[in-house]
Amino acid sequence: MLQTATRRLAATDATLLPAHKPPGTRGLILAAGLKLFAERGYAGASIRELADAVGVQPASLYAHYPSKEHVLSALCRIGHEELLRRVRRTLQGCGEDPRDQVFAYVRGHVGMQSAFPMLAVVANAELHALSPALSAASLGLRQQSIQLLTDIVQRGAQQGVFTVPDVWLAVAAIGAMGDRVAYWYTPDHKLSTRFVCEVYAQYALRILAASPAGPSA
């Protein structure tokens, strides 16, 4: 197929932590699949392109993954695991104030999207291509991440710290804002990751009409 006019996302490097990658060829397949699926979509990328990118024959892929779908499934799971891990980590030790927690959550969320743009895009935008059995794990992880934020916003609203017409709408807005980052961020962007994270965390608090922070903790 032809080259695309506009890239689907700005990033060009299929960044993947060593901790994400199984050793050897399995890791190479994941990294190559990540780039292909992110740029062309699951259906738009072929096994042969994937094999070429790995530097191996198409048949050799099946010694490591039982099907093309399993490669995508592994990538989605890694992406959602990394996201959940990050928001949990930033939430750790940030106290009980819902304002601090939202701030921490968004920093973790946006940090994930900018650190692993391709992983974030694939995990979110290609999940629908998987059959139920292979997407279940990722869907569960995603639900956990969303629930974390929902609980925080809900509690903040009950405490009167946040004022929103609808909790769910606010959570959706904050999530959408963060998810989009993966499509335009690149490591050499004029705005630093840190800056984007801080600004979007601030925007999230603004969406929630967070009352000025009192003495936290």
Q: Which parts of this chain interact with a copy of itself (CB under 8 A)?
A: 2-8, 40-44, 125, 127-136, 139, 165-166, 169-170, 172-173, 175-177, 179-181, 184, 191, 195-196, 199-200, 202-203, 206-207, 209
- Helix, strand, coil share (%) of the chain residues, nearest 5: 65, 0, 35
CB of 44 to DNA, least distance (A): 9
CB of 188 to DNA, least distance (A): 31
Residues 116, 167: contact at Cβ < 8 Å? no
Sort 118 into a burial class: Cβ within 10 Å, 0-12 / 13-18 / 19+.
buried
Sign (positive/negative) of CA torsion 156, 158, 160, 164?
A: positive
List, in order, residues 6 or more apart from 3 with CB less than 8 Å away.
Answer: none
> 60 vs 159, which CB is nearer to DNA?
60
- CA–CA gap between residue 193 and residue 174 (Å, rounded): 17
Q: Of these partners, a copy of itself, DNA, none, which one is at the site of residue 125 (CB under 5 to 8 Å by kind)?
A: a copy of itself
Site string for DNA, 21-60 (x = CB under 7 A): ---xx-------------------xxxxx-----xxxxxx
> 26 vs 189, which CB is nearer to a copy of itself?
189
CB of 96 to a copy of itself, least distance (A): 24
Q: Does 4 bind DNA (CB under 7 A)?
A: no
Q: Of these partners, a copy of itself, DNA, none, which one is at the site of residue 59 (CB under 5 to 8 Å by kind)?
A: DNA
Cα-based angle 175, 44, 112 (whole degrees, multiple of 5): 25
Residues 138, 76: contact at Cβ < 8 Å? yes
Q: Which of 7, 66, 192, 202 binds DNA (CB under 7 A)?
A: 66
> 116 vs 178, which CB is nearer to a copy of itself?
178
Total binding residues for DNA by CB under 7 A? Answer: 22
Residues 26, 75: contact at Cβ < 8 Å? no
